[in-house]
Amino acid sequence: MPTSKIHALIHSKCPRCHVGNMFEGSVYGFSKQKTKDVCPVCNLTFEIEPGYFYAAMYVSYAMSVAEVVTFALATAVLTGSESPWTYMLVLFATIIIFAPFNFRYSRLVLLHFMTPKITYDPKWELIEENIKRER
């Protein structure tokens, strides 16, 4: 059964086959998360051209702005504080806590939704299902 693009994005799967993992390591953990060079299932090269993931910085920036605005408004509503130190502490913590999440999902959003060169090919999922059945 083919997986949706959203399911593949949430589970950090390859944008072409929706089966292979794009990252080594977890989002939050003691091991460093690293983007794999190629998909282990369909051999898609993730960095389409040198410096391709620099564009992910813009996606990450947009995500950070949305997170900061959300937490600033939540802080204002929940605490009613007018102290700039309260906001600076909350927003600095927000940026630090969400940095690993933004690193991973900005690259995933870039590849899944903003790269016209890569399209989903369901044949890879079928190949993977046949391999699992044979085991």
Q: How many angstroms separate the first and last alpha carbons of the chain?
A: 18
Structural domain boundaries enclosing 17: 5-134
**pLDDT tens-digit map of 70-102:** 999 999 999 888 888 999 999 999 999 999 999
Phi-psi region of 43 (alpha: psi -120 to 50; beta: other; left: phi over 0): left
- Give me the percent of the chain exceeding a pLDDT of 70: 90
Number of domains in the chain: 1
pLDDT recorded at residue 135: 60
- Residue 97, classed as helix, strand or coil, is helix
Query: Hey, what amino acid is at 68?
Result: V
Name the pTM for this structure.
Answer: 0.80
Measure CA 91 to chain center: 21
The answer to whether 8 touches 112, Cβ cutoff 8 Å, is yes
pLDDT for the residue numbered 120: 75
